[in-house]
Chains A and B, each alone.
Chain A
Amino acid sequence: MSVLVGYDTRLVVQGMSGSAGAFHARQMVEYGTRVVAGVTPGKGGSKVEGLEKVPMFDTVGEAVQKAGANTSVVYVPPPFAADSILEAAAAGIDLVIAITEGIPARDMVRVKYVLDNEYPHVTLVGPNCPGVITPGQCKVGIMPGYIHKPGGVGVVSRSGTLTYEVVGQLTALGLGQSTAIGIGGDPVKGTDFIDALAWFADDPGTSSIFMIGEIGGDSEERAAQFIKDNIDKPVAAFIGGQTAPPGKRMGHAGAIISGGKGAAADKIAALKAAGIAVAPTPAEMGSTLAKLLA
């Protein structure tokens, strides 16, 4: 069992003719993901090197109608990415996973508003995220597939490489993952912790959860309350940026301590108050969950 992506996923890659889109499309095919179409406006009917069996279309609508795509992954450059997300939603795609980093906040405010009001059934993951992987079944995004292992730990994270770090640690400890979801480091995004936690709570294939937060915003605090109220499965967590200085943006657009809010200490306190095991260092993420399961 898994959430979001699996054997049923029929993927369209938006921006497949670009270098990142092409590289990762090949990696996904290699992993076993069913990549059924690629889309780049103006490149319909062409071929992408190493992906000759994947038809290219000008529009997502064609990818849905002619290739039966039900999930989209977006590698389109930042100035055009918001438009691509909305195109996918309008074309009937149910799940849009946006990898693109650097989309203006104003664009995402509008995307979120349109999705909430016109396409409430559409799930957006990201942007600025590593994607979603159900180990052994389907990989959608940019994560290194080989570090994953099928199993029961649901992983949800605001950080890409930190997700690889925890997955690597879990796999080394023999703990496989049901699905790993990167929700991304932007201030305005689709899926948030609470959405992912609710899916994992309902998923019979997920027996425990690891959550990775970071400085900025109050999603982790709200997630802590949600876990306390709704989740019986064991949950461990880590918060990145414990030593980050206030007022400095730590790489991610969303990772900034501003107005005295969003500090790691507050998030850790909220998680601990909710009974969640918090790893003291990023090197002990896997072992913190393992201890909980022992």
Chain B
Amino acid sequence: MKIHEYQGKQLLRKYGVPVPIGIPAMSVEEAIAAVPTVQQQAGTDVVVVKAQIHAGGRGKGGGVKVAKTRADAEAAIKQIFGMQLVTPQTGPAGKKVQRLLVEQGLAIEHEYYLGMLLDRGTGRVTVMASAEGGMDIEEVAATHPEKIFREGINPGTGWQEWQSRRLAKNLGLSGKVAQELATFLRTLTKCYDEMDCSMLEINPLVTTKDGRVLALDAKINFDDNALFRHKELEEWVDPSEEDPAEREAKKWDLSYISLEGNIGCMVNGAGLAMSTMDIIKYYGGAPANFLDVGGGATAEKVTAAFKIITTDPDVKAIFVNIFGGIMKCDTIAQGVITAVKEVGLKVPLVVRLEGTNVELGKKMLADSGLNIVAAADMADGAQKAVKAAGGSK
């Protein structure tokens, strides 16, 4: 689960992680009203107006503006709010800006990079930091890996103070600023652990001319598997950031991702679903989605999945690829038949069934009178689906 920068900063503030003074706004009026408050609280006229969308690279697309006066701030707010913000991560269509963060401007001494995520190799959450802040950290990692310093967190003890001291030394910080960094890391690592974060990125982390350490940006992702422990996060879901089909799929606990192609896929198992996309591409087609109906799906869930696929206007053919283990082939057949009865079938349907109760499933489909193209195996099914969708591109 992803959240907005302003929500991330609210969370960090709650944990005592230093963040700039700022007020989120859901409209132009709210944002304009926030400017004098921020100016007053911060004791400076300089404010920063930041577009709140989930994609990164907002500054490059003109979604972040520094304003030195109230008039400048109002102009920036009117310019950014409602704009279609295009960044390297939004795709060419961009995202409409419907939320802003009005924040205090800071006299920055230096920008650093700070990231936290799970290192699968060691099985430990790892803090990564670099003095090359604000830059694309992937580029730093590729060209100057020695400039990124890592500290793994021992699951038995948690973050240790000596790790802060070592990191400060590596980043060239000493004295009061090093102590500020220690406080920052102590609170940040506590937040990551307690909130079941899966990724936390502060880029940039800044030191100010007056010796403080603050999170100038905050990108936080949570472990979807742990959301049952954090019901409070539900209110931070921003529906406008989600694909409508993906949102519908989530209701049914289906693993679904919209893609650009025209062959709708319904598969059981994540690995097989990914490989089904691969084989469609291999034969010259393009999948319209990734969809794993899971192992224990009911006929109702299969029906819901099938409806999600058929509502995508780009879908020109459907490929159902099932190797039943826990998932029984007759359950799939029942779900498909019900869905077609309810919403109709306007495009060719290719079905490959294998595994548990395969004969029963095939018989049900045959008896249903539906116009189904049967496939002998995965390769056969993929080729037939590509052909039905209009051939290879």
Contacts and interface: CB of A to CB of B under 8 A. Distances in A.
Interface of A: 20, 23-24, 78-79, 101-110, 112-113, 117, 130, 142-144, 147, 157-165, 168, 185, 187-188, 212, 214-215, 217-219, 238, 240-245, 247-255, 259-260, 280-284
Nearest to B257: A248
A105 B271 contact: no
B356 A144 contact: yes
Contact of A165 (B259, B272, B326): B272
Nearest to A182: B271
Nearest to B227: A104
B122 to A, nearest CB: 10
Contact of A259 (B141, B154, B196, B292): B141
Interface string B115-137: 00010110111000000000001
A291 B356 CA distance: 29
Interface in B247-306: 255, 257, 259, 267-279, 281-282, 287, 290, 292, 295-296
A283 B377 contact: yes
A238 B267 CA distance: 18
Query: Chain B's interface: helix, strand, loop or mixed, by majority?
Result: mixed
Given A130-B325, A218-B121, A254-B120, A240 B156 contact: no
Contacts of B356: 144
Contact of A157 (B154, B271, B282): B271
Interface in B114-167: 118, 120-121, 123-125, 137-138, 141-142, 154-156
Given A161-B325, A165-B378, A240 B225 contact: no
B271 A159 contact: yes
Contacts of B324: 144
A161 to B, nearest CB: 3
Given A105-B226, A106-B193, A162-B269, A250 B377 contact: no
B57 to A, nearest CB: 13
Q: What are the 10 A-B residue pairs with the smallest beta carbon separation, nearest first?
A: A159-B271, A251-B270, A161-B269, A283-B379, A104-B226, A162-B271, A161-B272, A282-B275, A113-B155, A241-B274
22 contacts: A104-B225, A105-B198, A106-B223, A109-B118, A109-B123, A109-B155, A159-B271, A165-B272, A215-B274, A217-B120, A219-B120, A243-B287, A244-B277, A250-B273, A251-B269, A251-B273, A252-B271, A282-B272, A282-B278, A283-B279, A283-B379, A284-B379
A106 B226 contact: yes
Of B198, B259, B275, B287, most buried by chain A (CB within 10 Å of CB) is B275
Size category of the B interface is 35 or more
Of A218, A245, A247, most buried by chain B (CB within 10 Å of CB) is A245
A105 B225 contact: yes
B269 A160 contact: yes
A160 B229 CA distance: 27
Nearest to A251: B270
B156 A117 contact: yes
Nearest to B193: A106
Contacts of A24: 326
A263 B134 CA distance: 25
B287 to A, nearest CB: 7
B292 A188 contact: no
Contacts of B81: none
A243 B287 CA distance: 9
B323 interface: yes
Nearest to B278: A242
Contacts of B120: 187-188, 217-219, 254
Interface string B61-86: 00000000000000000000000000
